[in-house]
Chain A
Amino acid sequence: METTKAEIELKPAVSAFSAAHDEPAWLRDLRLKMLEQYPKLALPKFDKISYKKWPLTAATKPVVQESAASALADLSLDRANAKNVLVMLGQTVIKAKLDPELAAKGVIFTDIFTAVREHPELVKRYFMTTAVKADANRLTAFHAAFLNGGAFLYVPKNVVIKDAIQSYYIQDSTRDQDFVHHVLVVADENSEVTYSENYATVGDKPNLANVIAEVIGKANSHIHFSAVDQLAQNTTGYVSRQGRLAEDARVDWAVGAMNDGHAIVDFNTDLIGRGSHAEVKVVAVTTGEQLQGINTHVTNIGKHTIGHILQHGVILENSALIFNGVGHIVKGAQGSDAQQESRVLMLSTHARGDANPILLIDENDVTAGHAASVGRVDESQMYYLMSRGIDKKMAERLVIRGFLGNVLTEIPAKEVRQQLTATIERKLENGQKSE
Chain B
Amino acid sequence: MSKLEVKNLHVAVMDEEDKGQPQQKEILKGVNLTINTGEIHAVMGPNGTGKSTLSQAIMGNPAYKVTEGDVLLDGKSLLKLPVDERARAGLFLAMQYPAEIAGITNVEFMRAAINARRPENDQIPVMDFMKLLDKNLALLDMSDDIVERYLNEGFSGGEKKRNEILQLMMIQPKFAILDEIDSGLDIDALKVVSKGVNALRGPEFGSLIITHYQRLLNYIIPDAVHIMMDGQIVESGGPDLAKKLEAEGYTGLRNDLGLDVKLTDEI
Q: Give chain B interface residues in 70-105, CB to chain A under 8 Å.
A: 82-84, 87-88, 92-93, 95, 98-99, 101-104
**Is there contact, CB below 8 Å, between B99 and A378?**
yes
Q: Closest Cβ of chain B: how far from A59's Cβ, in Å?
A: 43
Which of the 9-residue segments B112-120, B197-205, B209-217, B251-259 touches chain A?
B112-120
- Cβ of A372 within 8 Å of any chain B Cβ, yes or no, is no
- Cβ of A434 within 8 Å of any chain B Cβ, yes or no, is no
**Is there contact, CB below 8 Å, between B109 and A403?**
no
**Is there contact, CB below 8 Å, between B171 and A381?**
no
CB contacts (< 8 Å) of B95 on chain A: these are 384, 387
CB contacts (< 8 Å) of A383 on chain B: these are 61-62, 83, 99
Could you tell me the dominant secondary structure of chain B's interface residues? mixed
Interface size class of A (residues with CB under 8 A): 20 to 34
A-B contact count (CB 8 A): 77
Interface centre among B83, B98, B150 (most CB of A within 10 A): B83
**Is there contact, CB below 8 Å, between B109 and A391?**
no
Q: A404 to B104, alpha carbons, bound, how many Å?
A: 10
Partner of B93, one of A387, A395, A401: A387
Query: CB-nearest residue of chain B relative to A406?
Result: B103
- Cβ of A122 within 8 Å of any chain B Cβ, yes or no, is no
**Is there contact, CB below 8 Å, between B117 and A399?**
no
- Cβ of A380 within 8 Å of any chain B Cβ, yes or no, is yes
- Cβ of B59 within 8 Å of any chain A Cβ, yes or no, is yes
- Cβ of A402 within 8 Å of any chain B Cβ, yes or no, is yes
Partner of A398, one of B92, B93, B104: B104
Query: CB-nearest residue of chain B relative to A409?
Result: B103
Interface size of B by Cβ–Cβ distance < 8 Å? Answer: 27
- Cβ of B167 within 8 Å of any chain A Cβ, yes or no, is yes
CB contacts (< 8 Å) of B117 on chain A: these are 389
**Is there contact, CB below 8 Å, between B103 and A386?**
no
Given contacts A380-B99, A394-B112, A402-B150, contact A386 B104 (CB under 8 A): no
Q: Closest Cβ of chain A: how far from B87's Cβ, in Å?
A: 4
Given contacts A390-B113, A395-B84, contact A384 B61 (CB under 8 A): no
- Cβ of A388 within 8 Å of any chain B Cβ, yes or no, is yes
Q: Closest Cβ of chain A: how far from B106's Cβ, in Å?
A: 12
**Is there contact, CB below 8 Å, between A386 and B99?**
no
**Is there contact, CB below 8 Å, between A390 and B112?**
yes
Query: CB-nearest residue of chain B relative to A312?
Result: B103
**Is there contact, CB below 8 Å, between B116 and A394?**
yes
As a 0/1 sequence over residues 56 to 67 of chain B, the CB contacts with chain A under 8 angstroms (1 = contact) are 000101100000
As a 0/1 sequence over residues 394 to 420 of chain A, the CB contacts with chain B under 8 angstroms (1 = contact) are 110011011111100100000000000
Q: Closest Cβ of chain A: how far from B10's Cβ, in Å?
A: 22
CB contacts (< 8 Å) of A406 on chain B: these are 102-103
**Is there contact, CB below 8 Å, between A389 and B171?**
yes
**Is there contact, CB below 8 Å, between B101 and A388?**
no
**Is there contact, CB below 8 Å, between A398 and B109?**
yes
Q: A142 to B254, alpha carbons, bound, how many Å?
A: 84
Closest 9 pairs (CB-CB, A-B): A402-B103, A405-B103, A389-B87, A384-B99, A388-B113, A386-B84, A402-B104, A389-B116, A389-B88
Q: What are 11 inter-chain pairs, A to B, with CB distance below 8 A?
A: A378-B99, A383-B62, A384-B99, A385-B109, A387-B59, A387-B95, A388-B92, A388-B116, A389-B117, A406-B103, A409-B103
Told that A390-B116, A401-B103, A405-B104 touch, could you supply 10 new A-B pairs with CB distance under 8 A? Answer: A385-B99, A386-B83, A387-B83, A387-B87, A388-B92, A388-B109, A388-B116, A389-B87, A390-B84, A391-B84
